[in-house]
Amino acid sequence: MYFDLDEDQRMLRDLVRRLLADECPPSVVRAAWPGGEVSLLEPVWRKLAGIGVPGLLVDETLGGTGLDETYMVALLEQTGHAGLPLPTVATVAVAAPLLAASPDRAELLADVLSGQTLIGCQLEASSTDGTVLVPHGQLVSAAIVITPRGLGLVSMAAARPVASMDGARRLAQVDLRAAVPLHVDDEALDLAVARATVGTAAELIGLSRRMLAITVEYVCQRTQFGVPVGGFQAIKHQLADALLAIEFAGPAVRRAGYSLATGDANAEREVSAAKALASEAATSVARTTIQCHGAIAYTTEYDHHLFAKRAWALAQEYGNAAAHRQRLAGLLGLRTDHPSRTIQKVAP
């Protein structure tokens, strides 16, 4: 099958791309780092909420836009491309749909859909000390987490800020004992994890495209021996390989979104294939584009690091490439152990 965007999906993609180009330049991504003006992020989210982004997967009867995962992939590629330093995947793929599935959370759902409230999430395995790290936890008022008792909602008021490689993710550590139950069934939770995995893969594709675009522009301007370095065969070959990795992974991510949207019996397999390929592509593109830049790529003043560090972080989130290859092996009958709901990180 040919997995490309239809006209409506392209319209959403282009709308979000234009909005983020205007509202989320690299200066706004930098504002999310420690010491930055995080207030610059508020108008970005308000405008995204104004076009229905938080409720993308929520039924129209509940105030959402009632779209599906194919639209989600188109949207999240653009938030990845912009390096949007907000919990977009957590809100669109996890929090809003789960709150919609929990009848006693209608008021909180309304606040999330309107853009007034930001909700984070952490659906991977908890640590041994009963705490978890929540991405963007310093920006959100609450987070949806997996506790020993099941799914829970925990206030971030008492969370402890934690430094991270990608400072714009603003990690925070929260105690799971403070969580209150969030009543949804296992099927809704499984779907939330799958959506978050595909959404993270989509952001990785967007990040990869942005890093490649930055690098192509740079090598066309940087000269050596009187000519642009982009004309050297060694540079051309590396960037061609980077583009190939992106173009190979991109359709797999769209295929995974389509599988979730249509209830494909092989959706688990497609989700793991998408995340494995997107994680590999993003880490490869980050490495290649840093090498093509030379020493300037190691400076924090240069914009490239804003996207490379996000890519390294997201490549590990919801299972890295190695973990998803192992899961694929199980789904294909090449391993005897059954794939678990939460993907454990393993060394590549």
Give the pLDDT score at 317: 96
Residues 6+ apart with CB under 8 A from 66: 58, 59, 60
Q: Which fold has domain 187-331?
A: Butyryl-CoA Dehydrogenase, subunit A; domain 3 (1.20.140)
Specify the length of the chain in residues: 348
What single-letter DSSP state applies at residue 51?
T
E strands along the chain, which residues?
119-122, 131-134, 142-147, 150-155, 160-161, 172-175, 180-181, 223-224, 227-228
What is the per-residue pLDDT across 316-342, written as a single tens digit (0 to 9) for each?
999 999 999 999 999 998 876 655 555
Q: How far is CA 165 from CA 33, 169, 250, in A?
A: 10, 9, 26
Q: How far is CA 84 from CA 96, 203, 232, 342, in A?
A: 18, 10, 33, 25
Give the pLDDT score at 152: 94
Residues 6+ apart with CB under 8 A from 283: 311, 312, 315, 321
What does the alpha-carbon distance between residue 230 and residue 219 come to, in Å, rounded to a whole number? 5
Q: How far is CA 293 from CA 81, 182, 229, 240, 313, in A?
A: 19, 47, 10, 15, 21
What is the per-residue pLDDT across 172-227, written as a single tens digit (0 to 9) for each?
999 999 999 999 999 999 999 999 999 999 999 999 999 999 999 999 999 889 99
What does the alpha-carbon distance between residue 107 and residue 85 come to, in Å, rounded to a whole number? 26
Give the pLDDT score at 336: 63
Give the pLDDT score at 344: 46
pTM across the whole model: 0.95
What single string gives the DSSP state of each residue in 89-153?
A: HIIIIIIHHHHHT-GGGHHHHHHHHHTS--EEEE-SPPPTTSEEEETTTTT-SEEEEEETTEEEE
Cβ–Cβ < 8 Å for 176, 148? yes
What does the alpha-carbon distance between residue 57 and residue 96 come to, in Å, rounded to a whole number? 8
Across the 348 residues of the chain, what is the mean pLDDT of every consecutive 10-residue run?
A: 84 97 97 95 97 98 97 98 98 97 93 96 78 96 92 95 96 94 93 98 98 98 91 95 98 97 96 98 98 94 97 97 95 72 44
Domains of the chain, by residue range, sit at 187-331
The residue behind tokens 């490239």 is 304
Give the pLDDT score at 346: 41
